[in-house]
Amino acid sequence: SDLQKQEERGELLQPLIFVLLVLCSVLLYFKVSLMDPGFVKSEEEVKAGKSEEQSMVIPQVPSNIKMRRCGYCMVKQPMRAKHCQLCQHCVRRYDHHCPWIENCVGEKNHPLFIVYLSVQLVVLLWGGHVAWSGLYFEQSWDWLQHNILLLMSFLLIVIFTIVVLLLLISHLYLISCNTTTWEFMSHHRISYLRHSELENPFDQGVILNLWRFFC
């Protein structure tokens, strides 16, 4: 049949891949939105659950810095954790609270958040190419009436592509430095950074930083 011939020529392969990418980005969105970003559990929960501590290199912290309890949820805050007033929890390796996913980005979902941004960027670039290929510009009112929705869609895709691209680049840069958005923006207010002899005591080199983050 004609449909089978089109499939053999690969004409249906690209639309199928595009739909699968869109579906994958939607599933990643819900996964990142609904998963635990790394909430700090109370001491009783930690003892009952016997949770395993992740192996990580702790930098030398000056002795005058004391680990404190959170003034909101009263749990003992580990280093690099911060209380999110929107989530009402302390989050390990807190990066930021993302309003797009209505969840914090922290120790557990940060790598998946980067994967989601990457897939979303591919979908937007591909969608922008599809929209652009359907535009044939003419200086007439009739052309504008027939193509106004496609033109608006293309402009929206361009705006979201720029936003996602800048967000992904900024996160990859911070990951390569082994720092978080919160630490980068509030360096002067964080005790373990303000009193440290090193500007960034967590930095272990780009390759090792990326390896520890993703692997």
Q: How far apart, in whole angstroms, are the C-alpha atoms of residue 215 and residue 52?
A: 17
Residues of the chain with pLDDT under 70: 1-8, 43-67, 136-144
**3-state SS, residue 83:** strand
Provide the pLDDT for residue 54: 45
**Structural domain of 189:** 2-37+96-214
Does residue 118 share a domain with residue 143?
yes
Q: Tally the domains of the chain.
A: 2
pTM of the model: 0.80
- 87 and 26 part of one domain: no
Same domain, 82 and 102: no
User: Residue 153 has what pLDDT?
Assistant: 86
Same domain, 25 and 43: no
> Cα separation of 57 and 30, whole Å?
31
Residue 55 resides in a domain:
no
Contacts 24+ apart (CB under 8 A), 189-194: 191/65, 192/61, 192/65, 192/79
Please indicate, yes or no, whether residues 90 and 118 belong to a single structural domain of this protein: no
In a domain, 59, yes or no: no
Determine which one of 70, 73, 87, 98 is catalytic: 98
Is 133 in the same domain as 75?
no
pLDDT of residue 76: 84
Residue 153, in any domain of the structure: yes
Is residue 120 located within the same domain as residue 188?
yes
CB 77 within 8 A of CB 90: yes
pLDDT for the residue numbered 52 = 45
How far apart, in whole angstroms, are the C-alpha atoms of residue 210 and residue 47? Answer: 31
Q: What does the pLDDT read at residue 47?
A: 56
N-to-C CA span, the chain: 47
Tokens of 123: 């979908």
Do 188 and 170 sit in the same domain of this protein?
yes
Cα dist from 65 to 18, 53, 75, 185, 210, whole Å: 51, 22, 17, 20, 28
Question: 19 in a domain, yes or no?
Answer: yes
In a domain, 69, yes or no: yes
Distances, alpha carbon 181 to alpha carbons 13, 122, 150, in Å: 39, 24, 36
Whether 32 and 46 share a structural domain? no
Both 33 and 43 in one domain: the answer is no
Catalytic-residue membership of 98: yes
- Which DSSP letter does residue 189 get? G
Are residues 181 and 136 part of one domain? yes
Is the same domain home to 173 and 75?
no
β partners of residue 89 = 84
